[in-house]
């Protein structure tokens, strides 16, 4: 049995969409059987068919876990006594129900992510294996002493090969969207994103960019690149549907592929990591 609370994202949406989002192994057949058996409840009221849920509703699911969750094979890239770096797969949250962290916690007594990736962004995630390491790493991220690089496949070819972009971002929590402005407006925060063109295909009109984040805001890379006219291929939120269909791509072509420890101050038990680069092959 599992209990979930409906958040803003699923306010006034049907309960099936809410359940499919939270349980990656749930099939239509299993859900329809649960409705028939009245194994789904909203605010402790049994329902026999799809219903609308609202913010704050409690949804109870009487389905065994092996029908709710897929088995997740997590690739470990680097590990020592203090940290763990894994390759996060697509369609998996870093935190939450059946998340990357939740799965790793079955193996580790202490495991905590030091940064986030969007659900559909693949790549490297750094975890701390103890509280001392966690506090150090959170501070290093805050002071920009850990360098993160991403690869992004974009539609179009920038005329400027290397550039640092500066703009302003507003997060709309109700719509789960962010908006970018070239000028500062009320409610907007400054963002900085650098890119370098490392490959280009003029025939197909696409490029591969190395992206470095100087600020780490929600959807920053995806929205910032779309704002300057170079959407990430496969991005269903900030991209272009016709382009995504042309490339037969349903998931954003963006992944975190490099972490570099550039410690400028004492790092305690993690001093040995200074200068270390952890990379995924392209």
Using the structure block, give the residue that is written with the tokens 């940290």: 83
Query: Does residue 168 contact residue 185 with C-beta atoms inside 8 Å?
Result: yes
Give the Cα separation of 40 and 16 in Å (integer).
10
Q: How far apart are CA 29 and CA 23, in angstroms?
A: 14
User: In a 10 Å sphere around its CB, with 0-12 CB exposed, 13-18 middle and 19+ buried, how is residue 244 labelled?
Assistant: buried
Residue 118 annotated among the catalytic residues of the structure: yes
**What is the Rg, in whole angstroms, of the alpha carbon atoms belonging to the chain?**
21
Q: Are 174 and 7 in contact (CB under 8 A)?
A: no
- Catalytic residue, chosen from 57, 118, 210, 235, is 118
Distance from C-alpha of 276 to C-alpha of 278, rounded to nearest angstrom: 7
Residues marked as catalytic: 118
């Amino acid at each position: 049995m599992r209990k979930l609370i409906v958040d803003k994202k699923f306010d006034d949406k049907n309960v099936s969409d809410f359940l499919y989002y939270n349980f990656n192994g749930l099939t239509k057949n299993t859900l329809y059987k649960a409705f028939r058996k009245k194994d789904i409840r909203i605010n402790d009221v049994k329902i026999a068919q799809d219903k609308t849920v609202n913010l704050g509703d409690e949804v109870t699911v009487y389905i065994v876990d092996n029908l709710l969750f897929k088995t997740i094979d997590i690739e470990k890239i680097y590990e020592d006594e203090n940290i763990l770096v894994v390759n996060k797969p697509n369609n998996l949250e870093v935190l939450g129900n059946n998340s990357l962290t939740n799965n790793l916690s079955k193996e580790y007594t202490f495991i905590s992510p030091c940064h986030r990736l969007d659900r559909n962004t693949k790549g490297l995630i750094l975890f701390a294996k103890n509280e001392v390491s966690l506090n150090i790493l959170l501070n290093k991220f805050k002071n920009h002493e850990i360098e993160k690089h991403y690869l992004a496949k974009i539609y179009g070819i920038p005329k400027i090969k290397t550039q640092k972009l500066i703009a302003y971002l507003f997060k709309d929590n109700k719509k789960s969207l962010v908006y970018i402005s070239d000028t500062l407006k009320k409610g907007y925060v400054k963002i900085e994103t650098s890119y370098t063109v490392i490959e280009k295909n003029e025939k197909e009109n696409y490029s591969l960019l190395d992206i470095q984040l100087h600020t780490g805001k929600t959807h920053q890379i995806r929205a910032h690149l779309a704002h300057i006219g170079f959407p990430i291929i496969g991005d269903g939120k900030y991209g272009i549907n016709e382009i995504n269909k042309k490339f037969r791509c349903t998931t954003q072509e963006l992944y975190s592929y490099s972490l570099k420890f550039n410690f400028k101050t004492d790092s305690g038990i993690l001093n040995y990591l200074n200068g270390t680069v952890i990379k995924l092959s392209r």
